[in-house]
Amino acid sequence: MKYTLAMLLVLGAGPASANFSCRGNTEPACLEPGAVVCVAGTVCIDDYRSECGSQGLTCSKYVDECADKLDECSAYIDDMRYEFEDSYEELQSGYNDLVEQYNELRGQTVRLRFKVDSAADTARGMEAGWREMRDCVLSAATLEDAKSCAR
């Protein structure tokens, strides 16, 4: 027991007269339990009003503002996407109509070209017949010879 009392006296007297120093010639301070010490040039922030993100620590107010802005942008993008999809469907439908009209007109053009070519062949045949008849009439010596050219 004597030994225990002697130890308490020796240990109890030490801290009261302890001497210590701080880096950078700053003053030492005693802290309350649970107190926070910040590095020089920084600010201590209550954990409930701040958040850490990819860019570091920021105030919740700014996080909330950014979240609201993000929601606005997201809604705007959704509106633009729906508008784009509607416009795209309109344009696609119009394009399909134009392709269908083009194909119909192309078919009509092919049919008309065939008719024109056929009519031109008929006209060339008639022209050859008329020339033959003309030559026959011009070379006829009598009226009967000229009449025989028409048969």
Would you say residue 9 has pLDDT above 50? no
What is the C-alpha separation between 137 and 151, in angstroms, rounded?
12
Asked if residues 92 and 83 have their Cβ atoms less than 8 Å apart, the reply is: no
> Percentages helix, strand, coil for the chain, rounded to the nearest 5?
70, 5, 25
Instruction: Please report which confidence band the pLDDT of residue 7 belongs to, taking 50, 70 and 90 as the band edges.
Output: very low
Mean pLDDT of 73-91: 91
Asked if residues 28 and 22 have their Cβ atoms less than 8 Å apart, the reply is: yes
What is the C-alpha separation between 150 and 136, in angstroms, rounded?
9
pLDDT value of position 116:
95
Q: Which are the contacts of 44, defined by CB distance < 8 A and separation ≥ 6?
A: 36, 38
pTM (whole model) above 0.85: no
| Range of lowest pLDDT (25-29, 40-44, 61-65) | 40-44
pLDDT value of position 25:
66
What is the Cβ-side half-sphere exposure of residue 90, based on CA atoms within 13 angstroms? 6
Percent of the chain with pLDDT over 90: 42
pLDDT value of position 44:
58
What is the C-alpha separation between 52 and 108, in angstroms, rounded?
71
pLDDT value of position 151:
72
- Residue pLDDT, tens place only, 83-129: 888 889 999 999 999 999 999 999 999 999 999 999 999 999 999 98
pLDDT value of position 42:
59
**Average confidence score pLDDT of the chain:** 77
Quick one: residue 24, left, alpha or beta (phi over 0 = left, psi -120 to 50 = alpha)? left
